[in-house]
Structure 1
Amino acid sequence: MNQNLCGATITTGKGGDGRFGGTGGRGGDVGSGNSNFRTQNLARSDLRTANGRSGSWWSTGGRGGDIGSRNTMANLEQDFRDAVLKSGDGGSGSYGGAGGRGGDIGSGNR
């Protein structure tokens, strides 16, 4: 099976802020976490994932969104040619909490 986002313009939604010690929400992903695609065509696309949001009261900021990451199809082929890719920034920690991790692009695939 193929996933074709060629020429697409996609911006994902942001995570929510943590409240009363909760971890900030994670930014949305594009083309990530799939197990049934043999190829991903992201050529000439404009893909921007959202930032993670702030944590609250010693908690961790949310993680930024990923693009084309954590897919589990053997021999996956990804085409990022001439694409504009911007993964989300990690959210800020609050009152000593750690900042969230930025998003990945094409990482963690198996």
Structure 2
Amino acid sequence: MKVIIVKPFTQPYTTEIKGDLESMQAIVGGYIQAIYPFDDEVALVCNEEGKINGLMPNRFLLNRNNGICDYICGDFFLCYAPCESENFESLPDNLIDKYIAKFSAKGARI
């Protein structure tokens, strides 16, 4: 499964993962949580306990008015999730390009 990995203070990059629970947990360093903050069918998969475990802050989540409504701690990845399901799939190339650009700028925010 082709995903984008986003780590604190680094440029995002694409990689292939197996797509099983163990490989996803290895990326985020614990239990996974999927959230759907985008208009596209893209899941942001992060560590469910990232904040309470003191993981490094990574990116802000913004509301539609560009106000900060939350933030993500620790490494996360982006994958395709049709209809906000937890049946994750490879990101198509057009979404890879879009989300690499979105997270490549210094101080990128969601």
Range into which the TM-score falls when normalised by the shorter chain: under 0.3
Q: Which has the higher strand share?
A: 2
